[in-house]
Structure 1
Amino acid sequence: MDKILLNRMMFYGYHGLFPEENKLGQRFTVDVELMVDLRQAGQTDDMNDSMDYGQVYQVIQRVVEGEAKNLIETVAEKIAQSLFNAFNKLEAVKVHIDKPGPPIPGYYESAGVEIYRERQDYV
């Protein structure tokens, strides 16, 4: 399957279990792999045959910078659902979210989740 990759997108959100996370917020990074047939776009050189990267970014931004969630698992799921709702050509998506410096005991660069969903998962 062909893929569009958008890497290390950065957003500021208020997701987490602890009150300080919901009050102060923090940075989140998101990577997505968008599985879509790009053959026609490659032949026609027409954006209508692909997916607009800027629109993809905006969909993800609305989720990450929107309503606070307790779990980044929920944020990832909302991103996947929103992308399928916005883009009919999208066949599957992998969403990876990193939360740098999570407020949990120990020393971490980040904590993260990665999910893979197919359009049929939402039918």
Structure 2
Amino acid sequence: MDRIAVRGLRARGHHGVFDHERRDGQDFVIDVVLAVDTRAAARTDDLTQTVHYGEISDRLVDVVRGEPLNLIETLAERLAAVCLAEPRVAEVEVTVHKPQAPIPHPFDDVTVTIQRRRHEQLG
């Protein structure tokens, strides 16, 4: 499978287990790598034969801005479901970055990365 990636997609959300995270919100950064067969799109030069990464990015941002969740693991799962709702996406890798996580020590980033396949969503 070919890969289409969107990396560094930023949106403000209110996810976390602490009251201040839900109240104040924080920035989340999303990376998705979509497994897609791009041969038909390449052959025809037709956007309808591939995944429109602008539209899928809009839907991913809507999820991050949407319902507050306790865990970024849950957020990653919901983002994967958005990607797999695209018929041409066979597999997705989602990384959720939480660079402002409430850790009282210097750190660069906290991430959760998941991989999901279409057949797993159907079961």
Structure 2 partner of 1:39: 39
Structure 2 partner of 1:91: 90
Name the CA distance, whole Å, in 1 between partners of 2:26 and 2:100: 9
SS in 2 for 1:106: coil
Number of aligned residue pairs: 122
Unaligned runs of 5+ in 1: none
Name the CA distance, whole Å, in 1 between partners of 2:109 and 2:43: 40
TM (norm. structure 2) is 0.96
TM (norm. structure 1) is 0.96
Identity percentage over the alignment? 38
Return structure 1 stretches of 4+ with deviation > 6 angstroms. Answer: none
Structure 2 partner of 1:4: 4
User: Is the Cα contact below 8 Å between 2:9 and 2:31 reproduced in 1?
Assistant: yes
Structure 2 partner of 1:71: 71
Q: Please report the RMSD computed on the Cα atoms of aligned residues, expressed in angstroms.
A: 0.8
User: Is the Cα contact below 8 Å between 2:16 and 2:69 reproduced in 1?
Assistant: yes
Name the CA distance, whole Å, in 2 between partners of 1:90 and 1:45: 18
Q: Is 1:113–2:95 an aligned residue pair? A: no
User: Is the Cα contact below 8 Å between 1:101 and 1:108 reproduced in 2?
Assistant: no
